[in-house]
């Protein structure tokens, strides 16, 4: 259960809010992005920033996939043990 809550929070914060605020040009608080924000630099700097940021965006969804796989494996093990 805690992993499912964590996956949900991570997905909302990093996979939904951050890209939306980047497109809108604001921070998560709603303030304007400063001119020296990481994604506002040169093309090379922006590519580097977003390539480093991608694992953080995928962290929540991947944790959700692993949580479901773990739950299924544990549930199948419990069913097999009960059948013996």
C-alpha 64/C-alpha 60 separation (Å) is 6
Chain segment 7-32, per-residue pLDDT in tens: 888 888 777 787 788 788 888 788 88
Chain segment 43-63, per-residue pLDDT in tens: 888 888 888 888 888 888 888
Q: Give residue 84's pLDDT.
A: 62
Output the pTM of the full model. Answer: 0.61
Q: Give residue 81's pLDDT.
A: 66
Distances (CA, A) of 32 to 8, 19, 25: 27, 15, 6
* 41 pLDDT more than 70: yes
Q: Give residue 83's pLDDT.
A: 64
Instruction: Tell which wins on pLDDT, 32 or 80.
Output: 32
Tell whether the torsion through CA atoms of 24, 25, 27 and 30 is positive or negative.
negative
In a 13 Å sphere around the CA of 57, the CA atoms on its Cβ side amount to 13
């Amino acid at each position: 259960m805690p992993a499912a809550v964590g996956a949900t929070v991570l997905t909302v914060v990093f996979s939904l809010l951050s890209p939306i605020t980047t497109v809108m040009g604001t921070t998560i608080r709603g303030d304007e992005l400063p001119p020296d924000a990481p994604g506002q630099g040169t093309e090379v700097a922006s590519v580097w920033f977003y390539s480093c940021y991608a694992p953080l965006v995928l962290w929540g969804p991947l944790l959700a996939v692993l949580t479901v796989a773990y739950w299924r494996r544990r549930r199948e093990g419990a069913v097999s043990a009960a059948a013996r």
